[in-house]
Structure 1
Amino acid sequence: MDGNITEEQQVEQIKAWWKENGKAVVLGAVIGLGGLAGWRYYQAEVQSAKEQASDAYTQVINALEAGSENAVADTQAFIAGHESSQYAVLAALQLAKVQVQSGDLDAAVTQLNWAISNTKDQAILPVAQTRLARIYTEQDAFDKALAELDKVTAESWKGKVAELRGDVLLQKGDTLAAREAYVSAQQYGASPALQLKLDDLAQ
């Protein structure tokens, strides 16, 4: 504002400016506050949904581990109801484990394939892939098992995958390739079990 105008003129200018721009200022403030309130509400709802999913996951897994009568059906219902959540993927892994223990390998394959298709979590994906490879091996589907192992790319899993590849090849009857896989696994740290496998092949 001009420094030579009187205080009364300044007041009049402010009134005129407010008359022209006041509604926009108020509307902007309302929108801004409304947006903030809406965002906080959304965040609270997201957090609440996560907590509910966590509680429900804990319940179905506890029932699954206890061998409750409806545990499998309840776990499947939980997975269907939380498909976009990583809790559903974890539940599928646990359900597959129980199905393997009960001898229902086909159902376990279905669960693991679903888990693999519905997660990008690099901590979960190799677990599901190697478990699926083990089941394929149990079903004598050796080529499927090896193909699944080829999909595991995590650096920290290379030793485990090489050893498991050796197990698959050995069961397939390819002892030479199995030995090569075990030797490869040794590069990532030799375990007593791995050494025993190599010793057995040397005999």
Structure 2
Amino acid sequence: MDVYETEEQQVEAIKSWWKENGKAVVLGAVIGLGGLYGWRFYQGEIQAGKEQASDAYTQAMTALESGNDAAVADVKAFIAGHESSQYSVLASLQLAKVQVQKGELDAAAEQLNWAIAKTSDEAILPLAQTRLARIYAEQQKFDQAMTELDKVTAESWKAKVEELRGDILLQQGDSAAAREAYVQAQQLGTSPVVQMKLDDLAQ
């Protein structure tokens, strides 16, 4: 670094440096501040979008629970309009539940398949997969039901999967295989319900 003998030389050096670099400094500051404010604006817009989606989801679910005739169409419109949001996946699960209650199993299976394709959430995915397996079993599509169960990889769901596997096997009339599945479920996680099922098979 240059050593300046007098303050005047230092001042002149600063003036000279500013003349050469001042515009770049100002431009850099403007770009930097613009980027900062732009980022904050972007984050604000994302947050506002999340809040809007949350409000719309709440309204759609309230309408669905009320049994409003237009509710199903409203929920489908919400799902279509928020495909990139996890709210759409939650809405799809709720819609499928209502459709099952109405006996509309094909429509419910369609909703669950859509939800499974749209989420990787470890809390939501196994829930949707096991519900879909139940629907397939209800439709006597047993191979599809078992295939869906095999896709559940979450450790916390293993016991539930084996219990459901036992239910499906029992529905098919295979009591011995059903018992094995229930025993496996009990070993993975003790459940009074599974024990009752085992006791029933023992009678």
Q: Which runs of 5+ in 1 are unaligned?
A: none
1:25 aligns with 2:25: yes
- 1:137 corresponds in structure 2 to 137
Say whether the 8 Å CA contact 2:78–2:88 is kept in structure 1: yes
Once the two structures are superposed, what CA deviation does each residue of 1:57-94 show, in whole Å capped at 9, x if it has no partner? 00000100110110000000000000000000000000
Instruction: After TM superposition, give the deviation of residue 9 of structure 1 in Å.
Output: 1.3
- 1:190 corresponds in structure 2 to 190
Once the two structures are superposed, what CA deviation does each residue of 1:121-162 show, in whole Å capped at 9, x if it has no partner? 000000000000111111011111110000000000010000
- 2:175 corresponds in structure 1 to 175
TM-score (norm 1): 0.98
Q: Where do 1:40-119 residues align within 5 Å?
A: 40-119=40-119
Structure 1 residues 120 and 174: alpha-carbon distance in aligned structure 2, compared to 1, 3 A threshold: same
Q: Which amino acid in 2 is paired with 1:9? A: Q
Instruction: After TM superposition, give the deviation of residue 20 of structure 1 in Å.
Output: 0.5
Say whether the 8 Å CA contact 2:136–2:145 is kept in structure 1: yes
CA distance in structure 2 between the aligned counterparts of 1:192 and 1:86, rounded to whole angstroms: 34
CA distance in structure 2 between the aligned counterparts of 1:95 and 1:2, rounded to whole angstroms: 74
TM-score (norm 2): 0.98
Structure 1 residues 6 and 140: alpha-carbon distance in aligned structure 2, compared to 1, 3 A threshold: same
CA distance in structure 1 between the aligned counterparts of 2:108 and 2:19, rounded to whole angstroms: 71
Q: Which runs of 5+ in 2 are unaligned?
A: none
CA distance in structure 1 between the aligned counterparts of 2:4 and 2:110, rounded to whole angstroms: 83
Structure 1 residues 102 and 4: alpha-carbon distance in aligned structure 2, compared to 1, 3 A threshold: closer
Query: How many residues are matched?
Result: 203
- 1:153 corresponds in structure 2 to 153
Structure 1 residues 146 and 184: alpha-carbon distance in aligned structure 2, compared to 1, 3 A threshold: same
Q: Which amino acid in 1 is paired with 2:174? A: D
Say whether the 8 Å CA contact 2:63–2:71 is kept in structure 1: yes
**Percent of pairs with identical residues:** 76
CA distance in structure 1 between the aligned counterparts of 2:3 and 2:186, rounded to whole angstroms: 84
Instruction: After TM superposition, give the deviation of residue 4 of structure 1 in Å.
Output: 4.7
Q: Which amino acid in 2 is paired with 1:194? A: V
